[in-house]
Amino acid sequence: MEQTTDQKLSIAGKTLNSRLLIGTSLYPNQQVMMDALAASGAEIVTVAVRRVSLDGGGESVFDLLKGKYHFLPNTAGCFTASDAVFTAELAREALETNWIKLEVIGDDETLFPDVEQLLLASEELVKKDFVVLAYCNDDPISCKKLEDLGCAAVMPLGAPIGSGMGIRNPYNLQIIREQCSVPLIVDAGVGTASDAAQAMEIGMDGILLNSAVAGARDPVRMAKAMRLGIESGRLAFEAGRIPRKLYASSSTSLNGMIDL
């Protein structure tokens, strides 16, 4: 897909200055979370509707972040399309947003998506006027089907959730980039800033992460590192890397050299 230099990330008509979307769970405490979010530069934060109280009496994550960030509720913990749709509707009513990060998990060990249920949920939620950002496998066929169903963004995994294994199959991500025109956001598996940079250099439009920052020894500094990694990776993608060659290629011309 052709890219424009300095093109900002746009999802469902919302233009963003940051290409980092970040989670709000697993931090040592709420102050560390707030500081890390600020250091990340992210404008969108994701929250697990089924794991967080929606009426926290002024101390919930929603109360702390409301007005400062764009909420992206997610359907983490859902194993069927019907559960995911119900959770999305709950989030829309409670948070007054039709944006949803759609997760439909196949099992609680690998946390890989259940593609069949994911497609069913995506189709229904799009019909219900949700802005669907769908977490999926790094499978070009599934990603294209999600785009065709009307998902606002497709979010292929880089590696299993929380594994920190980085980008395990960059070749699939390259194929997905070539076949899909909607924003592509790598979701899951990023462990450090170089992983984020690699994904962006492939041509991904953004990164969604949580564990890599929240579980770092210093979450605030890691959040800043991720921001810089994403920025540098995107710049490199826009600049265009030199072709890979098997043999050396001199950067200095041999023409005009003194004959010894």
What is the DSSP-derived secondary structure letter of residue 4?
-
Q: Cα–Cα distance between 227 and 249 in angstroms, integer? A: 34
Within 10 angstroms of residue 168's Cβ, the number of other Cβ atoms is 14
Q: Strand, coil or helix: what is 258?
A: coil
**DSSP class per residue in 150-166:** T-SEEEE-SSSTT----
Q: Cα–Cα distance between 154 and 135 in angstroms, integer? A: 7
- Asked if 209 and 45 touch (Cβ cutoff 8 Å), the reply is no
What is the DSSP-derived secondary structure letter of residue 219?
H
Alpha carbon separation from 51 to 21, 61, 66, 95 (Å, rounded) = 19, 11, 18, 14
**Which of 101, 127, 128, 144 is flagged as catalytic?**
101
Q: Cα–Cα distance between 74 and 96 in angstroms, integer? A: 14
101 is catalytic: yes
Active site residues per annotation = 101
